[in-house]
Amino acid sequence: MKGFSMSRSIAILASLLLATLQPLCSQPSGKSDTLASQAKISRVDAEKIALAREPGTIKEGELEKEHGKVIYSFDIQTSNGVHEVNVDAITGKVVEDSVESPANEAKEQKKDAPR
């Protein structure tokens, strides 16, 4: 790169790298974006609904499709254990509220672990 300063060369390379990566970052990531487009209520509203049902601290939450329904699934730490509260992402109704056993929690964490 004769005639270019080192800092100018770095700036050009950085610009080229950014131009290459930007389209990749702005494309939908797939499944969760499709689910998010189907949701009629926001995650914040779903969290409020879940916490009204089971007051506590949300340990984990995700948007997923389960039994044909798009739901927000939350693991909520309460004074009497961890509750899994699922909120229908279309209607806002609680469709499940169950106590998570330690064995179920471990199985879920193993399933969700990166491979």
CATH number of the domain to which 60 belongs: 3.10.450.40
Contact 78, 54 (CB under 8 A): yes
Structure tokens at 77: 């730490």
Structure tokens at 58: 């949300």
SS3 82: strand
Question: Torsions phi, psi of 78, nearest 5?
Answer: -115, 175
How many other CB atoms sit within 10 Å of the CB of residue 63? 19
Domain that residue 3 falls in: 1-29
Q: Kindly indicate the confidence band of residue 71, based on its pLDDT and cuts at 50, 70 and 90.
A: very high
Say what the pLDDT of residue 28 is: 45
Contact 65, 45 (CB under 8 A): no
In this structure, the dihedral spanned by the alpha carbons of residues 74, 77, 83 and 85, taken in order and rounded to 10 degrees, is: -30
What's at 2, amino acid-wise?
K
Q: What percent of the chain has pLDDT over 90?
A: 54
Residue 7: inside a domain: yes
Q: Are residues 3 and 48 both part of a single domain?
A: no
Q: Are residues 68 and 17 both part of a single domain?
A: no
Nearest Cα to 43, choosing from 56, 66, 60? Answer: 60
The domain total for the chain is 2
Residue 49: inside a domain: yes
Q: Are residues 51 and 78 both part of a single domain?
A: yes
Digit-coded pLDDT (tens) for 13-42:
666 666 665 555 444 445 557 889 999 999
Structure tokens at 20: 């290459």
